[in-house]
Amino acid sequence: MNSTLKIFTMLLGTTLALNLAMNYMGDNISDFESRPLPLKRTVVIKTNNPVLKVDAQSKERWTLVDFSSKKTFQIYDPETDKEQMNRQDWDLGFQRTKIISNGGVTNPQGVVTIANLGPVDFDSVVRIPEANFVPDVRSWGHVNNPSIVGWYLYRTRTHNIESKRNVYIVKTSDGYLKLKILNYYCKRAESACESAMCPRDEAACLTVEYSHIKPGEQAFPSPPLPRPKTAQVTP
């Protein structure tokens, strides 16, 4: 058998096998449709402290959060909606990567200030530190808080966001708040976005670890060890 005949025979065999496979799938398509898809991989971020998921996806509205009650509400413009802001209790406001506080130029009637402790261990911060607590300011026409404005790293290659994992102390009207931003994406862990571009529609659901103490208290509570809280991120 010459080489041309061998090649023809191989091509004919491959074509027959492909046709048989297609016919089988066509005759049994209902079996393939009814089979469950593989389970989605769940990324679990473990912490022994309370966790709050903040939806900050909107580019037009701000999500304002009161961490003591875990309540949120939304406004369109902090510059023009000050009356609405003052009708509610809130500590921090989120819009995509932007964060504002209930104080300073954002809201002169508020008292919130923020101190940045850097990338320290969350649970190691037990007492209220002697730190530089800063209100919101206006810089280059934009309102921000210098302590928390640079909370993230921007990856220029993938255009993704990664938290610096700094710990912040927030002085509020009803005590002190200790917090760390653990994750920026809605259904992915930040580690999954280090080398691949994560879609923008999956961004800006901030997972925040926090601890709150009331006025007069000087030490944050130790985390309950037996049952750690988890923040699940399911693609």
Whether the per-residue pLDDT at 231 is higher than 80: the answer is: no
Number of folded domains in the chain? Answer: 2
Structure-derived torsion over alpha carbons of residues 201, 209, 192, 60, reported in degrees to the nearest 10? 20
Write down the pLDDT at residue 11.
63
Residue 56 and residue 85 in one domain: yes
Strand partners, 230: 46
Residue 67 and residue 16 in one domain: no
Q: pLDDT tens-digit profile of 128-174?
A: 999 999 999 998 889 999 999 999 999 888 889 999 999 999 999 99
What is the residue range of 29's domain? 3-34
Average the pLDDT over 38-62 and give the result.
78
Residue 106 and residue 26 in one domain: no
3-state helix, strand, coil in the chain (%, to 5): 20, 35, 45
Write down the pLDDT at residue 190.
87
Q: pLDDT tens-digit profile of 178-220?
A: 999 999 999 888 888 877 778 777 899 999 999 999 999 989 9
Compute the distance between CA of residue 166 and CA of residue 181 in angstroms, rounded to an integer: 7
Residue 130 and residue 229 in one domain: yes
Q: What is the pTM of this model?
A: 0.77
